[in-house]
Chain A
């Protein structure tokens, strides 16, 4: 149930900004870690492929 508030637009905008910024603070490191891990897996796969080709 959404309460009826005076100055509702200001209150809800404030809480929305807070929610969005806090959510981004968790989402952004998660995405960065995913990118990091993927790039490391790719680098490892390339390294192994290069090793096989040499052999």
Chain B
């Protein structure tokens, strides 16, 4: 964030508002990455019924929702000075909003069941159904004529971004990955503790920590 705010020069057209992209783009990428991870975990949970994958998949949803919200809010804050509008019902923006609703739906469905394992399995079906939205988000700027610009950074082909702007973006992408890992383990630990609260190993651990 230091590089993004202090070191990188302002964009020649957008001025300092371009600094918003250093959180907007990593948040968007990470929100989609989390959904892919959640889909894989949900598929494993449905096929092999491994409890840990159910817990991990369900723990992904609030983190993904938070980053989707960051992406939408920062995109809106960038859009106002650059496009002259807070919101536009364009394909990229709308599909990202749908992603947020899917995340919220998964969280709601999971929380609606007293039996957490049953809730996780039913929410996993929604996760798999919602996965269709990920390629729609990715290709929306190519399939439809949108206000949102096409990809500026490409894994294959030449990126249209100045190399001086890349280091803070790369650092922020790495940081959001690490944040996701830490937050996921933190949430999964709580969920496991909650589900196993009546088991002796949890009581032993908790009482040991209390003494």
Interface assignment of B106: CB less than 8 Å from any CB of chain A: no
Interface assignment of A51: CB less than 8 Å from any CB of chain B: no
Q: Say yes or no: A18-B70 contact (C-beta < 8 A), given A7-B16, A13-B77, A29-B190.
A: yes
**Closest Cβ neighbor of A10 among chain B residues:** B77
Stretch at the interface among B38-46, B92-100, B114-122, B179-187: B179-187
**Closest Cβ neighbor of B59 among chain A residues:** A29
Q: Which residues of B contact A25 (CB under 8 A)?
A: 62-63, 66, 179, 183
Interface assignment of B207: CB less than 8 Å from any CB of chain A: yes
Proximity bits, B169-185, A CB within 8 Å = 1, else 0: 00000000001001100
Q: In whole angstroms, what is the CA distance A47 to B6 when docked?
A: 58
The answer to whether B210 and A41 have CB atoms under 8 Å apart is: yes
The answer to whether A15 and B23 have CB atoms under 8 Å apart is: yes
Taking a contact as CB atoms closer than 8 A, the residue among A13, A29, A36, A37 that contacts B183 in the complex is A29
Q: Which residues of B contact A15 (CB under 8 A)?
A: 1, 5, 23
In the assembled complex, how far is the CB of residue A34 from the closest CB belonging to chain B, in whole angstroms?
10
Interface assignment of A50: CB less than 8 Å from any CB of chain B: no
Write 24 A-B pairs (CB below 8 A) sorted by A numbering: A5-B10, A5-B19, A6-B10, A8-B16, A13-B77, A14-B77, A15-B1, A17-B74, A18-B23, A18-B27, A18-B70, A22-B66, A22-B179, A25-B62, A25-B66, A26-B183, A29-B186, A36-B190, A37-B193, A40-B197, A40-B203, A41-B210, A44-B203, A44-B206
9 A-B pairs with least C-beta separation: A5-B16, A6-B15, A7-B17, A14-B74, A29-B186, A6-B16, A18-B23, A14-B20, A10-B77
**What 13 new A-B contacts, CB under 8 Å, besides A7-B17, A18-B27, A41-B206?**
A5-B10, A6-B15, A10-B81, A14-B24, A14-B77, A15-B5, A15-B23, A18-B23, A22-B179, A25-B66, A26-B182, A29-B186, A33-B189
